[in-house]
Amino acid sequence: MKRTKILSFLFIFTFLTVGFSAVAAQTAKFKTWKITSAKSGGFAGINLSSTLDSEGNLSRVNKSEEAVEKIEESKVKEIAELIKKLNLPRTKLKTVKGKRIYDGIYTNFVITLDGKDYKIEGTTFDDAKYLALTKKQTQILEKLKEKFRETGGIPSNELE
């Protein structure tokens, strides 16, 4: 009887441990990431974008001019931790109405994990699917955007 209880306890403990490990592995599963902030459109043909990748490469494009620089490893690690905390693969989607303005200015904030794009926020001509972030995810996103700004990735008024 006592042996059965011990074996049952070990079985349940092992099952729970493996289950929690699987959930942790799913949230931190990606190896590479990339953050892209973009603004385009308008009568003047605005084309601005900033991209930071997991290697610390920051690329800024203004129309046809491109500048690339390397970001400090410590800042890249801070941003990577915030991206992990966002837990994007498990986030539901919502439909955002398009503006339907031909010469409108459109924005995009996208995080790419191992080649899969997660549209965080922005505006488009047509209706589009974006992540429906929770309050906690929104708070983490604000911290992430602030860190991205510190690297020179987002001009302070780019997504406004």
Interstrand relation of 33-41 and 46-53 (parallel, antiparallel or unpaired): antiparallel
What pLDDT is stored for residue 17 in this prediction? 47
For residue 90, the 8-state DSSP code is G
Q: How far is CA 133 from CA 36, 63, 110, 142, in A?
A: 18, 31, 13, 12
Question: If you search the block for the tokens 């990577």, which residue do you land on?
Answer: 80
CB 96 within 8 A of CB 31: no
User: How far lies 35's CA from each of 41, 75, 113, 140, 141, in Å?
Assistant: 20, 14, 9, 14, 12
- From the candidate CATH numbers 3.40.50.720, 3.30.1560.10, 3.40.190.100, 3.30.1370.60, the one assigned to the domain spanning 31-150: 3.30.1560.10
| Sequential pLDDT tens for the chain (160 residues) | 555 555 455 445 454 444 443 344 344 578 999 999 999 988 888 899 999 999 999 999 998 899 999 999 999 999 999 999 999 998 999 999 999 988 899 999 999 999 999 999 999 999 999 999 999 999 999 999 999 999 988 765 544 4
Range list of β-strands (E), 42-98: 46-53, 57-62, 65-70, 93-96
Q: Where are the domains of the chain?
A: 1-29, 31-150
The Cα 17–Cα 47 span in angstroms is 49
User: Among residues 77, 92, 78, which one has the least CA distance to residue 137?
Assistant: 92
DSSP letters spanning 129-142: EEE---HHHHHHHH
- What is the spatial distance between Cα 43 and Cα 104, in angstroms, rounded to a whole number? 8
**What is the structure's pLDDT at 8?**
53
